[in-house]
Amino acid sequence: MSEPTAVVRLTRDITVGLKSDDLADFYRDLHRHPELSFQEHRTAAKLAGRLRAAGFEVTEGVGRTGVVGVLANGDGPVVWLRGDMDALPVREATGLDHASRVDGVMHACGHDLHVTWLVGAAEALAAGRESWSGTLVVIGQPAEESGGGAAAMIADGVHERFPRPDVLLGQHASPGLAGFYPHTPGLILSASDDIDVVVHGRGGHGSRPETTVDPVVTGAYIVTRLQTVVSREVAAAESAVLTVGQFHAGTKANIIPAEARLALNLRTQDTHVRERILAAVRRTVAGECEAAGCPVPPEVTVRRGYPNTVNDAALDAEIAAVHRELFGAHTVLDFGPAMGSEDFSLLAPEGVPYDYWYVTTTSADVWDAAPGERLMDKLDNVPSNHSPLFSPDLSVLAPGTRTLVSAALSRLSG
């Protein structure tokens, strides 16, 4: 067996003293107290306190609730490590002892795990600072789930107020048997747009529909018709998802309302496909409203959420190689691009390479009990991100810390 490379050897050295029990307690505390986008005051304070204690110069309130910790440690590259902090409006159903104590709010996407990994990596790298040189910047980002967190930090001067990165690094908890570290060079996550639709009808009494223009019926036709956009207007080799996530209309059973509101979400991986689908949505909405005789044209508002996330291929290959050596060659695989979306890439200034990868978090007993023989069948049958049953295995706390540490050390000067 060959000798470990310097990065792997150093990673093992400076993480040998990781306090897994402490990280587990920190994680459980965050999980019990989830906070929605731009409300992460407690979470941010917890992160800031740990960073200060480790020797970082900490700035709070960046982009409203963001945290930036800077550890300047001599000449060398500047590495940014980013973790997001917000939770989701989901009522937890895990039954865990450390389940959410906030009704209707849950860390259902693993951002509590991301903050814990960030703390573990920051503390390990700070404790081992005699072994590397450069500048480590730790970013606690708010509001990833709402899509505005990275943009808010940028608007608040995160690129101007803090050392410019040479690389931006991040990772995300995912379903899958714990112990794997999927990497994808190039396109890894899709762009996302939210689309708001208002259908204007003519309200009236439920007993006299002939005197009205019913926006509920029109909205239902729009929802049905939109199901054909991807299946009939996008080539099979291209990827897109169009979802109607909200449909609101009316206040009482015997009142035909004057309007209906729909909220759509679009995921695409190609700008031409995006424009084609947006045009189809506008055409479909306008056509159905005209067919129904709506007295006022509909409103269609597109709100751009996330860009595509495109890893720097060379950087990803470098970090994937480190993770293979650290955890075993079989643990690093490529799932290819996903339809999920992130605002992570916005934090990289123009021309700065970034890398984003996954850490699988499903416990062995949950994985083994899930129906299916094939990998994808199993993945479809274990709780995933945004599920009220999502519950990462705490065995991933130390490995997920080491993935960040080793990635940072691959660039920090030895």
Query: Catalytic residue numbers?
Result: 86, 144
φ, ψ for residue 3 (rounded to 5)?
-70, 145
> In sequence order, what E strands does 351-411 have?
354-362
Closest C-alpha among 395, 359, 391 to residue 20: 395
Vertex 385 angle, CA 182 and 23, to 5°: 75
Closest C-alpha among 9, 49, 17 to residue 124: 17
Judged on CB neighbours under 10 Å (0-12, 13-18, 19+), 368 is exposed
Cα separation, 83 vs 297, whole angstroms: 43
Tokens of 148: 């505005």
Sign of CA dihedral 276, 282, 285, 290: negative
Q: Beta strand pairing status for 309-311 and 240-249?
A: unpaired
Tokens of 159: 């690129």
Q: Which residues are CB-neighbours of 248 under 8 A, at least 6 positions away?
A: 260, 261, 262
| 156 to 39, 138, 149, 343: CA distances (angstroms) | 17, 16, 11, 16
Cα separation, 378 vs 326, whole angstroms: 26
